[in-house]
Structure 1
Amino acid sequence: MAAADNGASPSGSGYDDNDDDLIDPQASSSPDDGDRLSTDHEINSSFKSIPDDDLKSDGIPLDTPWTFWLDKSVPGASVAEYKHCLKKIYTVTTVQSFWRVFNNIPDVSLLSSRYSYHLMRNQRRPVWEDEINCQGGNWNFKCKKSDTAFVWKELLLALIGEQLVECMAQGDEIGGLSCSIRNKADVFQIWNVRSDLEEKSTIVEKVKSLLPEVNFWSVHYKTFQTHEAFEGHKVAG
């Protein structure tokens, strides 16, 4: 399934909330928690409508379309339940349409705990079990909340600018990027389609070189099919 009772995100982040115990709350708390959008209604009503013509207008084309998604993690949810609450925001095809969407959705720093943003290649969904994702996994980078907005923006630009392509093994591909908001530290996940090629990647080194000022609390890779919450054929971890 897509979520587990151990606190894993239904988007497949594989992030266990118990890891928050390793974080110094003084170092990772956000000074603006009172300004966060705390309910589904507040978040949904904060999305600004963007005319279709604005997204289809001429501009600098991206190598592939990218789609923004939003979800709220519900521990124990099945894949079907997760898909039901997954919200597609917009698909962008140019640099200009990317900025129109980015500037008209709630800033990631305003999302409350257990919400996640995703930017996925083409129109694939942030679902482990989908055919295009199920053989892959993701790199997880945990950071303090004061760094979240900066890391999100910089990694989005690296993604649509295809700056991470050179880090991938032949036959592998970057599938997307997720930012999961948690209680004491937030988690970024970079998705790939071939977990068996993970060790040939230099993604971790690339991310650290792009963000030298950011101190990531932890970094690890997770293969979807080895996670206990994966609904489908599992492999030994």
Structure 2
Amino acid sequence: MAQTCGISPEELRVREGDYPSNETPLETAWTFWYDKKTSDKKESDQYIEGLRQLGSFNTVQGFYRHYSYLLRPSELPRDHNCYMFRKHYKPMWEEFPEGGCWIIRIKRKTSQNYVNHMWENLLLACIGEAFEMPDVVGAVLSTRLKDDVLSVWNLSNRGTPARFRIGERLKEVLDLHMTALIQYKDHMQSLQDYSTYRNARNYMFAPSPNVTPQIGVLNTPQQTHQEHADQDLDQGMLPPAAIDTMLPPAAVDTEGFGGGPDVWGGAR
């Protein structure tokens, strides 16, 4: 894990003596955060003021003590965000200017129990280091009018293959169809357009004829400022996109699940 915010990887590790002897330690401690989305563009100081820290934990038992008191996605009011980040990190673009996040949008018409299950699985995957990438720094749940949005943040994009392995693993963790569409956005771009989700790039992981997974980039048509203002999470579907030629046509599933719950790539 690269060093950022003045924190070294060793400083993040849970050490013997940091936790009750009768509990199971995690690799690192984590913190739950909460805030409400506003329509105003906020500078970092203003954004920090709106963040509420709910509590930290460094054991499996500690996770469940905190998680049992949290509202499930189906119970959260609209336009609220719940974050779980490695301790000492804040859920802010400014904390990880070289990083970004993978994004999945679940339509609200989908069974709410399904959304609850996906969120819980994502949290367990993070604390259990199921991504096998220490660059994974946090998970986010955002509730919006038509969609619930899950995202996984990574520390740095300098190692592009590592970033794509996180995206692939995310689809495995959430048991998504291999050709389901997801999105990725650099935090540097978010710092420019003040949105975690707007203008994100569309990706589809699809098997090539030799069964080796390949990654295609779907080029989303450009929108005017008026068209995409506050539409980042309110659109029911992603706009039409040109499929990259590296993807075999038979592997492309533009409906995400093909008969299952609607999942589309989708804080502040």
| Coarse TM-score class (shorter-chain normalised) | 0.5 to 0.7
Which residue does the alignment assign to 2:263?
none
Contact 1:144 1:217 in 2 (8 A): no
Q: What secondary structure is seen at the aligned counterpart in 1 of 2:140?
A: strand
Whose strand fraction is larger, Structure 1's or Structure 2's? 2
Match of 1:75 among 34, 39, 44: 39
The one-letter code of the counterpart of 1:173 is: D
Task: Report the Cα distance in structure 2 between the residues aligned to 1:134 and 1:176, rounded to whole angstroms.
Answer: 14
Moved more, 64-73 or 219-228: 219-228
State the structure with more CA Rg.
Answer: 2
Q: What secondary structure is seen at the aligned counterpart in 2 of 1:124?
A: coil
Task: Report the Cα distance in structure 1 between the residues aligned to 2:75 and 2:189, rounded to whole angstroms.
Answer: 32
Correspondence list, 1:185-224, <5 A: 185-200=147-162, 201-212=164-175, 218-224=181-187
TM-score, length-scaled by structure 1:
0.65
> How many residues matched?
171
CA RMSD, aligned part only?
Answer: 2.6
How far the C-alpha of 1:214 sits from its partner, in A, is: 7.1
TM-score, length-scaled by structure 2:
0.58
How far the C-alpha of 1:144 sits from its partner, in A, is: 2.6
Task: Report the Cα distance in structure 2 between the residues aligned to 1:75 and 1:197, rounded to whole angstroms.
Answer: 34
Task: Report the Cα distance in structure 2 between the residues aligned to 1:106 and 1:210, rounded to whole angstroms.
Answer: 22
Task: Report the Cα distance in structure 1 between the residues aligned to 2:179 and 2:123, rounded to whole angstroms.
Answer: 17
Verify: 1:93 aligned to 2:58, yes or no: yes
Q: Which has the higher contact order (CA 8 A, sep 6+)?
A: 1
Match of 1:106 among 71, 78, 88: 71
Moved more, 189-198 or 175-184: 189-198
How far the C-alpha of 1:75 sits from its partner, in A, is: 1.9
Q: Give aligned-pair identity as a percent.
A: 29
Correspondence list, 1:90-169, <5 A: 90-130=55-95, 133-145=96-108, 146=112, 147-165=114-132, 168=133
How far the C-alpha of 1:207 sits from its partner, in A, is: 2.1
Contact 2:31 2:85 in 1 (8 A): yes
Task: Report the Cα distance in structure 1 between the residues aligned to 2:177 and 2:119, rounded to whole angstroms.
Answer: 12
Contact 1:224 1:230 in 2 (8 A): no
